[in-house]
């Protein structure tokens, strides 16, 4: 089935001095019916995190521009983006005094199918109505404790080490990359990419309900306003991308 996509990207600096998140959404320069979304949450020093996150966007755009579906799978494209961004970020550690790192979540919509990959604790959600079809697992200490059944959702949100990552781009260890796909999306499905500055303040149901009830831009504005209220003056950078599928209009 072919789709049209209603989309939105949004950011807010929160209560930080610098915006170190990056988010973008773009189509292929030569091929119709394909699009990518990318989100990165940078960490490290003054401007170091922003520089790291920017590299994720640069690699995504460059590799997507050169992407040839007949010769490369979506998973190979996603892996090349994360691996190459990791290498570039790692190299900048030797040419600057910062210690730059970044998360990454990268999404591609191609021929009516969705594919994604992530590293770190930025998330991708796939909602169908108010149901969470899938959600990426955080590469964090808290995420690992949850997977082992030693911590529940509420405990995770309040854990003193909730910001400790086990994998990210730019570290000495190779990034842990996990992949997901949806071969049969349906009209009304919604994909949300977001940094922890957003998801830390909501249940899955709250996110899904807001995205179901509102168009992407209105939903993004509503979610950011709620984060700002709930953060109480201590909010992180916020970034999100929304891709909401609708059936393609047939020609009359």
β-strands 178-182, 190-194: how paired? Answer: unpaired
Q: How many helices (H) and strands (E) does the chain have?
A: 7, 11
Please report the pLDDT score of residue 31 as a whole number. Answer: 87
Whether this prediction's pTM lies above 0.85 is answered by yes
Please report the pLDDT score of residue 132 as a whole number. Answer: 98
* Segments in the chain below pLDDT 70: 1, 46, 94-97, 141-147, 149-163, 250-252
Please report the pLDDT score of residue 9 as a whole number. Answer: 98
User: What distance in Å separates the CA atoms of residue 131 and residue 31, rounded to the nearest whole number?
Assistant: 32
66 CB burial (10 A radius; 0-12, 13-18, 19+) = exposed
């Amino acid at each position: 089935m072919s789709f049209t996509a209603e989309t939105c990207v949004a950011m807010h600096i929160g209560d930080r001095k610098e915006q170190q998140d990056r988010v973008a959404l773009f189509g292929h320069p030569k091929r119709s019916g394909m699009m990518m979304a990318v989100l990165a949450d940078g960490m490290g020093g003054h401007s170091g995190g922003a520089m790291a996150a920017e590299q994720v966007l640069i690699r995504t755009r460059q590799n997507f521009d050169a992407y040839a579906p007949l010769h490369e799978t979506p998973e190979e494209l996603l892996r090349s983006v994360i691996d190459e961004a990791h290498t570039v970020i790692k190299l900048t550690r030797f040419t600057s005094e910062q210690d730059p790192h970044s998360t990454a979540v990268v999404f591609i919509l191609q021929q009516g199918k969705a594919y994604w990959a992530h590293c770190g604790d930025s998330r991708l959600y796939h909602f169908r109505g108010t149901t969470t079809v899938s959600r990426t697992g955080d590469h964090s200490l808290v995420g690992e404790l949850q997977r082992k059944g030693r911590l529940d959702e509420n405990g995770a949100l309040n854990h003193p080490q909730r910001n400790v990552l086990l994998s990210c781009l730019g570290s000495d260890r190779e990034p842990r990359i996990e992949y997901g796909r949806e071969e049969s999306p349906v009209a009304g499905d919604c994909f949300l990419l977001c940094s922890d500055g957003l998801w830390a303040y909501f249940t899955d149901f709250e996110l899904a309900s807001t995205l179901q009830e509102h168009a992407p831009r209105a939903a993004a504005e509503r979610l950011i306003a709620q984060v700002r209220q709930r953060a109480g003056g201590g909010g992180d950078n916020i970034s999100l991308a929304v891709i909401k599928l609708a059936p393609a209009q047939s020609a009359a």
